[in-house]
Structure 1
């Protein structure tokens, strides 16, 4: 009698932290602590879902020439400027933009850096499709997600010892005038757009869209067990475990 071996698929768990609006530095410190804890397996894969106040960030290439106004002028506008260790060029984060910061072990989920970035692009492409917007990625050396020649989603990641941080930003309905003060992602001849501009559909509350973005992410990365944590209920102890 022939024996049949069934391979059981172990459910993969993802903790999603809904953080609301968080300052960039606060989110950066949290990512650094969580990435350190993920590296030593103190926590499982974690996804931060949030928005930022008006903030410009530069990647590790330090392309300051793509900031078109003095930093003092940014302060007058109520915007901050921060230097980071992520990849990519200068970009803008602000209200009405959905941001995901994945803290994942790529080794455990069996992904290389390129496939990881492609999955981030696919996450935003799937979200756009829910609203009848045909988006695409993989523009030669230009990461991110595009609607025609207009950029709707940006990607800037950091991978250290196989652990990810930073991530993606999808434009729901940000004030696009902020982009006039930079060369977005170092690309001179392309516009920036938003879901609001590209769809004829009535958009639901932004919390709904952010949850849809998380759902697209979880499906593409193969997470079957999602644990939601609300920002107001998250207290970080010395081991960075939410209580």
Structure 2
């Protein structure tokens, strides 16, 4: 199975949400195949569809000073941070065509991050019943928040902390979990990291392996 990929640099959440909406509609109609968005956001706090804004600790004045916007997204999960040096993958897949259930899909996203971390000697784990995402002991390395439309088409996805400014996470209760830390690949590894784009490519390779997909990059114009 071949999966085209779209790479965006520092796309705002509004742009990413609209692009996902369009791609989901086209995937549902069978006009495109499974597609992966790979991008970074400018500093942003996003809240899931449950709108748990009580876990946003920063006042409007602090948000202005930080230069951070707050967006409510139509995904599962709680509040999290997106920003530079964090890899974000938004898969637009038909789980029906892939014969995958929601749980197996989330486990595949976990495996994507676990396998990438292992390249740098970092032992990460997932499959926790009471906490989502991927962890290094009690420190969260990667977040997962997904949406499945019409019981089959996915959007949103995962955020993998390569080397973001972790201070941003002190202004929220990350994923609604108050007694755990957030960490990054750079903080956990003893190996000097390559350029973040190299790590992102490795993450995409791990994703393709987890879901048995072949990769090819495309431009947005190819989807017109």
* Shorter-normalised TM range: over 0.9
How far did residue 20 of structure 1 move? 1.8
- Pick one of 51, 56, 60 that aligns with 1:71: 60
- Structure of higher CA gyration radius: 1
Alignment of 1:102 onto 2:88:
no
1:180-231 residue CA offsets vs partner (Å, 9 max, x unmatched): 00000000100000000000101111111111000000011011x31113xx
State how far apart, in whole Å, the 2-side matches of 1:159 and 1:72 are: 35
CA distance in structure 2 between the aligned counterparts of 1:75 and 1:33, rounded to whole angstroms = 31
Structure 1 residue ranges, 4+ long, deviating more than 2 angstroms after superposition: 233-236
Q: Using the alignment, how far apart are the partners of 2:35 and 2:203 within structure 1?
A: 15
- 2:134 aligned with 1:148: no
For structure 2, the 5+ residue unaligned runs are none
What RMSD over aligned residues (CA atoms) do the two structures have, in Å?
Answer: 1.1
Partner of residue 104, structure 2? 115
**Could you tell me how far 1:235 is from its partner in structure 2?**
2.9
CA shift for structure 1 position 141: 2.3
1:69 alignment partner, SS class: coil
Unaligned runs of 5+ in 1: 1-11
For 2:208 and 2:139, locate their aligned partners in 1 and report how far apart those are by CA, in whole Å: 26
Tell me the residue number matched to 1:5: none
- For 2:27 and 2:221, the matched residues in 1 are separated by 17
Alignment partner of 2:62: what SS? helix
TM-score between the two structures when normalised by the length of structure 1: 0.89
User: How many residue pairs were aligned?
Assistant: 223
Residue in 2 aligned with 1:204?
194
In 2, Cα distance between the equivalents of 1:188 and 1:102? 29
**Aligned to 1:207, what secondary structure does the other structure show?**
helix
Q: Say whether residues 1:92 and 2:81 are aligned partners.
A: yes
Match of 2:3 in 1: 14
Report the equivalent of 1:192.
182
Task: Indicate if the aligned counterparts of 1:71 and 1:81 stay in contact, CA closer than 8 A.
Answer: no
The 3-state SS of whatever aligns with 1:138 is coil
Normalised by the size of structure 2, how large is the TM-score?
0.97
Distance in 2, Cα, partners of 1:86 & 1:72: 27
- Residue among 99, 103, 120 paired with 1:131: 120
Q: 1:180 corresponds to which residue? A: 170
Q: Does 1:38 align with 2:27?
A: yes
